[in-house]
Amino acid sequence: MAEILDGKLTSQALKDQIAEEVKAFRAEGGKQPHLAAILVGEDGASQTYVNHKVKACDEVGFKSTLKRFPADISEEELLKVVEDINADDDIDGLIVQLPLPKHISVQKVTDRIVPEKDVDGFHPVNVGRMTKNLPSYISATPFGILKLIEHYNIDTFGKHCVVVGRSNIVGSPMSILMARNGKPGNATVTLCHRYTQGLEQYTRQADILIVAVGIPEFIKGDMVKEGAVVIDVGITRVEDASKKRGYVLKGDCEFSSCEEKASHITPVPGGVGPMTISSLLYNTLMSARNEVYQSDVLVK
Ligand SMILES: NC(=O)C1=CN([C@@H]2O[C@H](COP(=O)(O)OP(=O)(O)OC[C@H]3O[C@@H](n4cnc5c(N)ncnc54)[C@H](OP(=O)(O)O)[C@@H]3O)[C@@H](O)[C@H]2O)C=CC1
Ligand SMILES: Nc1nc(=O)c2c([nH]1)NC[C@@H]1CN(c3ccc(C(=O)N[C@@H](CCC(=O)O)C(=O)O)cc3)C=[N+]21
């Protein structure tokens, strides 16, 4: 039986800490941190996540602004919205909730956010700085996973960390962070993706297995090494007519079989998801305090 890595509890502890830091910052005359979120279209899951983010802002004493647009907004109009927020001195952080409708380029829109407000850590300046181990905004999901690993005192030094999935928002930054010289970090990393042959050969070698593919119950217990730490990032709504909401949430790892092998495992829900939200708040607080780019001149 594995120990549960409780993201809900850990996230609450982090939110409590953020709330304290906001109070202290404001007592010194600092501004109220302000997060803006852009939501395009009516995707149910995206609405849920954005609502969670807005609610979390309230909990820690941040201001939040949610800007909603219909799915047929043009790319040009959306870029203009981003530019207006870039120029708004009261707003410290901006996220554009993904996915976006197909006619809009995710890269174009997220790259238009100035790096100083890019609390999702998607801008090439932040990605590049993260890779070089310089101060940067780190993508909230990998950042949250690092905080969870830290909270549970999981040793990563010299461990074999296998990351499955190489997206810009999760898998790729996760692999860089686990490999870089830091704590948590200093792991030996293998990054697996769609073209990886014999995936289970790799997953079975993992001391730390981090899965972000978006396929419910993709990883079964027989693909996991005895005693491994299993971090399940995936979260998919699977239809279930017997439930009030009409769906259940499933991770990328089959919980029952993986839990038998793992030493530690994150549940879905209640694992990585809540950590993503509190990490986003943390990035926004750092922005309000002007910590990340304090001493740096940026080339825009
Ligand atoms: N809890 C949280 O806070 C968050 C959860 N998520 C969830 O995590 C999951 C992944 O999200 P995200 O990274 O954005 O997803 P993407 O769809 O952007 O990326 C999925 C990755 O998995 C790889 N992949 C797909 N099929 C296979 C396969 N058969 N074998 C190996 N690799 C495969 C893809 O490979 P290729 O590159 O070749 O296409 C890709 O790199 C989703 O369920 C999402 O909802 C995401 C963000 C935050
Ligand atoms: N620009 C951008 N930044 C993101 O960080 C981003 C994004 N777009 N698009 C989608 C993914 C997904 N994501 C989640 C956030 C919170 C939960 C979360 O709070 N999950 C709860 C359950 C939520 C529920 O009840 O549905 C849990 O796991 O316990 C999940 C997933 C952020 N993402």
Compute, in angstroms, the gap from residue 162 CA to the centroid of ligand 1.
14
Distance from chain centroid for Cα 38: 16
**What type of residue is 119?**
V
Whether ligand 1 lies within 6 angstroms of the CB of 173 is answered as no
Residue 17 appears among annotated catalytic residues: no
Q: In this predicted complex, what is the ipTM? A: 0.98
Give the CA radius of gyration of the chain: 19
Task: State the pLDDT at residue 1.
Answer: 83
Compute, in angstroms, the gap from residue 276 CA to the centroid of ligand 2.
7
Q: Please check if 166 is assigned to a binding site.
A: yes
Residue 294 appears among annotated catalytic residues: no
Candidates 6, 97, 117, 118; catalytic one: 97
Task: State the pLDDT at residue 89.
Answer: 97
Task: State the pLDDT at residue 296.
Answer: 57
pTM summary value: 0.97
As given in the structure block, the two tokens for residue 45 are 């899951």
Task: State the pLDDT at residue 299.
Answer: 42
Whether ligand 1 lies within 6 angstroms of the CB of 272 is answered as yes
Domains of the chain from N-terminus onward: 27-122 (3.40.50.10860), 140-273 (3.40.50.720)
Q: Please check if 167 is assigned to a binding site.
A: yes
Q: For the chain, 300 residues long, give each residue's pLDDT as a single digit of tens.
A: 899 999 999 999 999 999 999 999 999 999 999 999 999 999 999 999 999 999 999 999 999 999 999 999 999 999 999 999 999 999 999 999 999 999 999 999 999 999 999 999 999 999 999 999 999 999 999 999 999 999 999 999 999 999 999 999 999 999 999 999 999 999 999 999 999 999 999 999 999 999 999 999 999 999 999 999 999 999 999 999 999 999 999 999 999 999 999 999 999 999 999 999 999 999 999 999 999 987 655 543
Which residues neighbour 17 within 8 Å (Cβ) at sequence distance 6 or greater?
none
Nearest ligand atom owner, CA of 118: 2
Which residues neighbour 214 within 8 Å (Cβ) at sequence distance 6 or greater?
165, 234, 236, 252
Task: State the pLDDT at residue 295.
Answer: 60
Whether ligand 2 lies within 6 angstroms of the CB of 120 is answered as yes
Task: State the pLDDT at residue 293.
Answer: 86
Compute, in angstroms, the gap from residue 244 CA to the centroid of ligand 1.
27
Compute, in angstroms, the gap from residue 13 CA to the centroid of ligand 2.
18
As given in the structure block, the two tokens for residue 175 are 């692999």
Nearest ligand atom owner, CA of 109: 2
Residue 116 DSSP label: G
**What type of residue is 280?**
L
Label residue 176 exposed, middle or buried (CB < 10 Å: 0-12, 13-18, 19+): buried
Task: State the pLDDT at residue 294.
Answer: 73
Q: Give the Cα separation of 85 and 135 in Å (integer).
A: 23
Nearest ligand atom owner, CA of 213: 1
